[in-house]
Amino acid sequence: MSERKVALVTGAARGIGLATARRFLEQGWRVAMDDRDAPELERAAEALEGIIALPYDVSVPDQVERMVADTLGAFGRIDALVNNAGVADFGPIEETDFARWRTVMETNLDGVFLMSQACLPPLKESRGAIVNIASISGLRASTLRVAYGTSKAAVMHLTRQQAVELAEHGIRVNCVCPGPVRTKLAMAVHSQAIIDAYHDAIPLARYGSEDEIAAVIAFLCSPDASYVTGQILSA
Ligand code: NAD
């Protein structure tokens, strides 16, 4: 087994996932970058070395299996899984039909479950780490987030379930709840009213950057966090 550590980052074509992939690379890791948006992933991957690009969907079980197999085929190990892929769809309860609800749950919750389960054999071997990305919207209820907020609250609890059960294998599992970050996902759903409300509610009174979130994720995957598990960290 090669000594260089390997991170598998989902939703890595842009935004927080891409910043996280870059940070791992800066720290000498190799990175398996997954994103179902194949053209965007291709563009992001072009500029980077020490990566493989995996154009798979985290909510489809056989694509998840292929993702893990491809990563092990290329790199032989997985030391960290970052469950970052996510979708946002904001709307009132009465307008959130079952299809919209399922679309959010499939990626944001089912994807985290499927990916984590599929990565267990290599993570047991490396005594590695999982970081699940939830959201400020999972910590507190706010209007229009019936599906998104509920999916993220579930990710927080799934993190705790995973942490208690996987600790015996030396696998640490933590959750990062980003505040607002100006990514494509956020800008598609953050109206001016939502932006103003965030500025009022957040102590630092500003949006965060992708790099600030990536730094927290990388810390949780690093040996510096070797005694940290089951934690929900707002960033
Ligand atoms: P983004 O839209 O810029 O990036 C998300 C990426 O995930 C996209 O490239 C998309 O193609 C990919 N993706 C979506 N569904 C997928 C699937 N089923 N399989 C594989 N790839 C998939 O968004 P972002 O803001 O960087 O979000 C990253 C994570 O951070 C998400 O989980 C999001 O919910 C969370 N988050 C973001 C904010 C914010 O303000 N930006 C705040 C809190 C939490």
| pLDDT tens over the chain, length 235 residues | 568 999 999 999 999 999 999 999 999 999 999 999 999 999 999 999 999 999 999 999 999 999 999 999 999 999 999 999 999 999 999 999 999 999 999 999 999 999 999 999 999 999 999 999 999 999 999 999 999 999 999 999 999 999 999 999 999 999 999 999 999 999 999 999 999 999 998 999 999 999 999 999 999 999 999 999 999 999 9
Q: What's the 158 CA to ligand 1 centre distance in angstroms?
A: 18
135 lines ligand 1 (CB under 6 A): yes
Distance CA 148, CA 151 (A): 5
Q: Which of 54, 52, 58 is nearest to 74 (CA)?
A: 52
Ligand 1 center–CA 87 separation, angstroms: 6
Separation between Cα atoms, residue 11 and residue 34, nearest integer Å: 6
36 lines ligand 1 (CB under 6 A): yes
Is the CB of 8 within 6 Å of ligand 1? no
| Mutation probe of ligand 1 site: the residue of 10, 14, 16 with most atoms within 8 A of C-beta | 16
Active site residues: 148
Q: What is the pLDDT of residue 14?
A: 98
Q: Is 35 close to ligand 1, i.e. is its CB under 6 Å away?
A: yes
Ligand 1 closest atom vs CA 16 = 26
Question: Taking a C-beta distance cutoff of 8 angstroms, is the pair 16, 182 a contact?
Answer: no
Centroid of ligand 1 to alpha carbon of 84 (angstroms): 6
State residue 155's pLDDT score.
Answer: 99
Give the C-alpha separation, 127 to 79, whole Å.
7
Q: Are 189 and 89 in contact, with CB atoms under 8 Å apart?
A: yes
pLDDT at 3: 86
Could you tell me the distance, in angstroms and rounded to a whole number, from the CA of residue 11 to the centre of ligand 1? 6
Q: Ligand 1: does its nearest atom lie under 6 Å from the Cβ of 185?
A: yes
Query: CA separation (Å) from 19 to 160, 201, 202, 216?
Result: 25, 25, 22, 11
**Ligand 1 pocket member 55 (CB < 6 A):** no
For residue 83, give the ligand 1 atom closest to its CA: 32
Q: Which amino acid is at 148?
A: Y
Residue 76: is it exposed, middle or buried by C-beta count within 10 angstroms (0-12/13-18/19+)?
A: middle
